[in-house]
């Protein structure tokens, strides 16, 4: 069985770990390909940082911090403190000392002419995440956020000056608290799916959308020209799991992202954002939390088959059960 998943960072990585656990529990043989979001990648201090790829790699490879969800277990931040002591910006990015090694290997390899795909494969040689991890694209396409200038500057008409800041600055430095007018993925028009991405969608037996951020993680992957069309034309069922439970994101600040794109922060809202495959969208099925069961009729009215199940990834067993349900509704009944 070939399973292809689109993934952001923490939520996606934890779901994938549950998926692996389920497959192991049931002694099932399946190849998993993960198409990772690179829209929140950033160059900092000369280092190419791919937060979502690394979170998947570290989490599935057994090296991530369970407490934080991102970065490395037993991490230190001495280089970060020193960079701040030198007064060089940015100081708000959580650049760990162990993590820097990953970024150094990546950055020198990219400088030597290797593609991000190649570099990701090379890094995974060490981590053995048990999945084939592909960046959504080898082209640079980074999400930026249009906000009112936090300095309070006004334009010539006296209105707040709008500026675009990198997604990471908005997310980490401002904790998504600056109202976002718009997300702009700089370079997305020229981005192509990385080698293997379209094949992994076309050849899959099932495609999963883990409970990742639907706007700045999954949404960014979908924005790479060709990927949405591939999802719409694949013969594999596309099954999504809601990252919104009870009107709030399980983790992270997806509510701020949904508000920006005019979507209600609810399991129904996200279902509508993705849309039914039968109606120009991508979903063949949608799983929502049991606490949101009241929304099932409204979601099915959108043309999306919907089931309400426990969707809290409280532990590995609970997450494995979610993955099992996702495969079940995909009709694979494994």
128 binds a second copy (CB under 8 A): no
Site string for a second copy, 56-95 (x = CB under 8 A): -------------------xx-xxxxxx-xxxx-------
Residues 49/41, Cβ–Cβ less than 8 Å:
yes
DSSP state of 64: B
Structure tokens at 207: 């495609």
177 binds a second copy (CB under 8 A): no
Structure tokens at 244: 């919104």
State in angstroms the smallest separation of the CB of 166 from a second copy: 16
Structure tokens at 238: 């596309």
Give the helix ranges, DSSP H, for the chain: 10-25, 51-61, 78-85, 97-111, 116-127, 167-168, 197-202, 218-223, 227-233, 254-260, 267-274, 296-301, 316-329
| Helix-helix angle 116-127:51-61, to 10 degrees | 20
Site string for a second copy, 15-54 (x = CB under 8 A): ------------------------------xxx-------
Dist. CA 234–CA 283, nearest whole Å: 12
Q: Which of 28, 104, 161, 248 binds a second copy (CB under 8 A)?
A: 104
Q: Give the pairing type, strands 142-148 and 162-166.
A: antiparallel
318 binds a second copy (CB under 8 A): no
Q: Which of 73, 108, 162, 195 binds a second copy (CB under 8 A)?
A: 108
Give the nearer residue to a second copy in terms of CB position, either 87 or 152.
87
327: Cα within 13 Å, side-chain hemisphere: 25
Give the nearer residue to a second copy in terms of CB position, either 47 or 203.
47
102 binds a second copy (CB under 8 A): yes
100 binds a second copy (CB under 8 A): yes
Dist. CA 301–CA 296, nearest whole Å: 8
- Alpha-carbon dihedral of residues 19, 255, 276, 185, nearest 10 degrees? -90
State in angstroms the smallest separation of the CB of 99 from a second copy: 8
Give the nearer residue to a second copy in terms of CB position, either 108 or 233.
108
Structure tokens at 308: 């309400």
State in angstroms the smallest separation of the CB of 317 from a second copy: 30
Q: Which of 101, 154, 161, 318 binds a second copy (CB under 8 A)?
A: 101
Chain contacts with a second copy (rule: CB under 8 A): 45-47, 75-76, 78-83, 85-88, 97-98, 100-102, 104-105, 107-108, 111, 123, 126
């Amino acid at each position: 069985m070939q399973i292809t998943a689109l993934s952001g960072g923490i939520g996606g990585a934890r779901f994938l770990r549950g998926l692996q656990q389920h497959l192991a529990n049931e002694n099932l043989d399946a190849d998993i390909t993960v198409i990772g979001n690179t829209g929140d990648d950033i160059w900092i201090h000369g280092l190419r940082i791919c937060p979502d790829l690394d979170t998947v790699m570290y989490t599935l490879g057994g090296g991530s911090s369970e407490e934080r969800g991102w970065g490395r277990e037993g991490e230190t931040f001495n280089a970060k403190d020193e960079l701040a002591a030198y007064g060089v910006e940015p100081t708000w990015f959580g650049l760990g000392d162990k993590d820097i090694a990953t970024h150094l290997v990546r950055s020198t390899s990219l400088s030597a002419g290797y593609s991000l795909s190649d570099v990701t494969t090379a890094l995974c040689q060490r981590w053995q995440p048990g999945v084939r991890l592909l960046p959504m694209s080898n082209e640079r396409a980074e999400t930026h956020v249009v906000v009112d200038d936090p300095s309070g500057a006004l334009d010539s008409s006296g209105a707040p000056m709008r500026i675009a800041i990198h997604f990471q600055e908005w997310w980490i430095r401002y904790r998504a608290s600056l109202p976002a007018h718009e997300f702009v993925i700089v370079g997305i028009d020229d981005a192509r799916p990385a080698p293997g991405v379209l094949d992994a969608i076309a050849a899959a037996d099932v495609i999963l959308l883990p409970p990742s951020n639907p706007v700045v993680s999954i949404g960014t992957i979908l924005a790479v020209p060709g990927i949405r069309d591939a999802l719409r034309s694949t013969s594999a069922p596309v099954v999504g799991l809601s990252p919104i439970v009870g009107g709030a994101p399980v983790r992270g600040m997806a509510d701020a992202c949904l508000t920006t794109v005019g979507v209600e922060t609810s399991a129904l809202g996200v279902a509508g954002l993705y849309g039914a495959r039968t109606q120009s969208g991508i979903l063949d099925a949608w799983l929502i939390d049991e606490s949101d069961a009241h929304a099932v009729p409204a979601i099915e009215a959108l043309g999306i088959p919907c089931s309400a199940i426990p969707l809290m990834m409280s532990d590995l067993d609970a997450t494995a059960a979610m993955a099992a349900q996702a495969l079940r509704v995909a009709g694979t009944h494994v």
